[in-house]
Amino acid sequence: MSDFRVQVDIAGGVGQLRWEEQVVDAATLERAVSLAADDAILAHDLRRLQCDIPATDHAAMVALHRCGFRREGRLRSALLTPSGHLVDVLIYARLAVDPVYGPHGFSGVMNSVLPTKRVIAHVVFRDETGRVLLTETAYKEDWELPGGVVDPDESPRTGGRRELLEEIGLDIALGEPAITDWMPPHLGWGDAIEFIYDGGVLPGTIARCLAPRDRELRAIHWVPREELPDRVSELSARRINLLLDGYRGATENGMRIP
């Protein structure tokens, strides 16, 4: 359609890309978005160009991907369609400094739309009597192994070491993970990958000196193996027991892979 137009509303160095909903072929939509985006950013010296689309508009999604727009978020049930259905709205944006073409442009777009998972690093420590070190947090009933969520661009080993230092003041280099477990969605969390390291047996002089360093921790506890099911989640108990039994390798939901 030769009369298809894309409009850009500009205020304060930021543009909002939009167009009237109508039937148009994919090539025309992509060309119109590309021309409007390039013109707005270059001619009007924009630092940012944003476009919000219904999550059901796959043609618009593809056009924005091909024009270098990164997905920045999702507004849940934000749009009421003419048919009376609530749909999510996807927020896309392209910055003036974003690579648009070539491998960096493609990778930047794909990195913004492909699935991501939490990565968690926990460590199993025992004392000289065989008890397992657990942390009691201030925000949930189940106790946890020391460790936590790995930060973006941080390796699991580095994240685990950082968490140990922040939580209990223990600085220890971690080796290979003993168990790598896939965790299914649970309690509002999405699925995740957890790396569990075997910290070995801590000497009594060290074990007795450990104390919470993080405000999120109420206390730390040395727990006999037989009491673990009463203190940690069922999933966590399965994985700790596998490690204590000498298992090394990958698991799913805390169970060996058949």
Give a yes or no: residue 65 inside a domain.
yes
What's the predicted TM-score (pTM) here? 0.87
Q: Do residues 123 and 169 share a domain?
A: yes
Give a yes or no: residue 40 inside a domain.
yes
Does residue 1 carry a pLDDT above 60? no
Q: How is 50-95 classified by DSSP, letter by letter?
A: EEEEETT-HHHHHHHHHTTPEEEEEEEEEEE-TTS-EEEEEEEEEE
Number of domains in the chain: 2
Q: Do residues 100 and 140 share a domain?
A: no
Confidence of residue 2 (pLDDT cuts 50, 70, 90): low
Q: Do residues 102 and 162 share a domain?
A: no
By percentage, how much of the chain surpasses pLDDT 70? 99
The pLDDT tens digits for 145-181 are 999 999 999 999 999 999 999 999 999 999 999 999 9
Q: Do residues 108 and 232 share a domain?
A: no
pLDDT value at residue 221: 97
**Among the ranges 101-105, 183-187, 225-229, which has the highest mean pLDDT value?**
225-229
Would you call 234 exposed, middle or buried from its count of C-beta atoms within 10 A (0-12, 13-18, 19+)? Answer: exposed
pLDDT value at residue 119: 98
Q: Structural domain of residue 75, as residue ranges? A: 6-113
Q: How far apart (Å, rounded) are the C-alpha atoms in residues 3 and 181?
A: 54
The pLDDT tens digits for 40-50 are 999 999 999 99
Q: Do residues 96 and 190 share a domain?
A: no
The pLDDT tens digits for 39-93 are 999 999 999 999 999 999 999 999 999 999 999 999 999 999 888 999 999 999 9
